[in-house]
Chains A and B, each alone.
Chain A
Amino acid sequence: MTALSAAPDLPVKSLKHRSVMPGFGLSLGFTVFYLCLIVLIPLAGVFLKTADLGWGGIWHVVSSPRVDAALRLSFGAAAIAATLNAIFGLLVAWVFVRYDFFGKKLLDATIDLPFALPTAVAGIALTALYSGNGWVGQYLEPLGIKVAFTPLGVIVAMTFIGLPFVVRTVQPVLEEAEKELEEAAASLGATRWQTIMRVILPAILPALLTGYALSFARAVGEYGSVIFIAGNLPMKSEIAPLLIIIKLEEFDYAGATAVAATMLVISFLMLLVINLLQGWSRSRSGAKK
Chain B
Amino acid sequence: MDIQIRNIHKGFGSFPALAGVDLDIHSGELIALLGPSGSGKTTLLRTIAGLEYPDAGQILFGGEDTVALPVQQRRVGFVFQHYALFRHMTILENVAFGLRVRPRSERPSDSAIKKKAAELLDLVQLGGLEKRYPSQLSGGQRQRVALARALAIEPRVLLLDEPFGALDAKVRKDLRRWLRELHDKTGYTTVFVTHDQEEALELADRVVVMSRGRIEQVGSTDEVYENPATPFVFDFMGNTNILPGNVRGKEVFVQGTPSSIASTTLHEPGPVDIYVRPIDLRVADPGIPSFEAEILSTQRTGPVVRCEARAIESGVTLEIELPHLHFDVPLLKPSARVQLRLTNFSVFPKGTPITRQALPDVVSNAPAEYRERGRAG
Could you tell me if B88 and A285 are in contact, using CB atoms closer than 8 angstroms?
Answer: yes
A118 to B183 CA separation, bound complex (whole angstroms): 66
Interface of chain A, helix or strand or loop or mixed? Answer: helix
Could you tell me if B88 and A188 are in contact, using CB atoms closer than 8 angstroms?
Answer: no
Closest to B161 in A: A180
**Restricting to A254-289, which residues have a CB under 8 Å from any CB of B?**
281, 284-288
Could you tell me if B88 and A191 are in contact, using CB atoms closer than 8 angstroms?
Answer: no
Closest to A281 in B: B88
A187 to B72 CA separation, bound complex (whole angstroms): 5
The answer, yes or no, to whether A10 is at the interface (CB within 8 Å) is no
Could you tell me if B71 and A181 are in contact, using CB atoms closer than 8 angstroms?
Answer: no
Could you tell me if B82 and A183 are in contact, using CB atoms closer than 8 angstroms?
Answer: no
The answer, yes or no, to whether A60 is at the interface (CB within 8 Å) is no
Could you tell me if A191 and B133 are in contact, using CB atoms closer than 8 angstroms?
Answer: no
Closest to B87 in A: A285
The answer, yes or no, to whether A203 is at the interface (CB within 8 Å) is yes
Could you tell me if A187 and B71 are in contact, using CB atoms closer than 8 angstroms?
Answer: yes
Partner of A284, one of B88, B150, B152: B88
Closest to A287 in B: B135
Could you tell me if B101 and A183 are in contact, using CB atoms closer than 8 angstroms?
Answer: no
Q: Which residues of B contact A184 (CB under 8 A)?
A: 78, 80, 84-86, 146, 149
Could you tell me if B135 and A183 are in contact, using CB atoms closer than 8 angstroms?
Answer: no
Partner of A181, one of B73, B86, B102, B132: B86
Closest to B135 in A: A286
Q: Which residues of A contact B50 (CB under 8 A)?
A: 187
Output the least CB separation between B170 and chain A (Å). 24
A180 to B146 CA separation, bound complex (whole angstroms): 12
Closest to A180 in B: B84
Residue in B72, B82, B136 whose Cβ sees the most chain A Cβ within 10 Å: B72
The answer, yes or no, to whether B75 is at the interface (CB within 8 Å) is yes
Partner of B102, one of A180, A189, A199, A285: A189
Output the least CB separation between B112 and chain A (Å). 16
Residue in B70, B98, B134 whose Cβ sees the most chain A Cβ within 10 Å: B98
- Inter-chain contact total with CB atoms closer than 8 Å: 84
The answer, yes or no, to whether B49 is at the interface (CB within 8 Å) is yes
Q: Which residues of B contact A286 (CB under 8 A)?
A: 87-88, 90, 132-136
Counting contact residues on chain B (CB < 8 A from A), the size range is 35 or more
Output the least CB separation between A274 and chain B (Å). 18
Could you tell me if B136 and A186 are in contact, using CB atoms closer than 8 angstroms?
Answer: no
The answer, yes or no, to whether B305 is at the interface (CB within 8 Å) is no
Could you tell me if B84 and A198 are in contact, using CB atoms closer than 8 angstroms?
Answer: no
Residue in B77, B84, B136 whose Cβ sees the most chain A Cβ within 10 Å: B84
Q: Do A191 and B101 form a contact, CB below 8 Å, given A186-B72, A203-B87?
A: yes
Q: Which residues of A contact B149 (CB under 8 A)?
A: 184, 188
Q: Which residues of B contact A185 (CB under 8 A)?
A: 86, 97, 101
**Restricting to B80-109, which residues have a CB under 8 Å from any CB of A?**
80, 82, 84-88, 90, 97-98, 100-102
Q: Which residues of A contact B70 (CB under 8 A)?
A: 186
A181 to B97 CA separation, bound complex (whole angstroms): 12
Could you tell me if A190 and B84 are in contact, using CB atoms closer than 8 angstroms?
Answer: no
Output the least CB separation between A287 and chain B (Å). 6
Output the least CB separation between B276 and chain A (Å). 42
Q: Which residues of A contact B80 (CB under 8 A)?
A: 180, 183-184
Q: Which residues of B contact A183 (CB under 8 A)?
A: 51, 71, 78, 80, 84
11 contacts between A and B (CB under 8 A): A183-B51, A184-B78, A185-B86, A187-B50, A187-B77, A188-B152, A188-B153, A189-B72, A189-B73, A190-B101, A191-B72
A-B contacts besides A184-B149, A285-B133, 19 pairs, CB < 8 Å: A180-B80, A180-B82, A183-B51, A184-B80, A184-B84, A186-B70, A186-B72, A187-B51, A187-B71, A187-B150, A188-B149, A188-B153, A190-B72, A190-B97, A203-B87, A203-B88, A281-B88, A284-B88, A286-B134
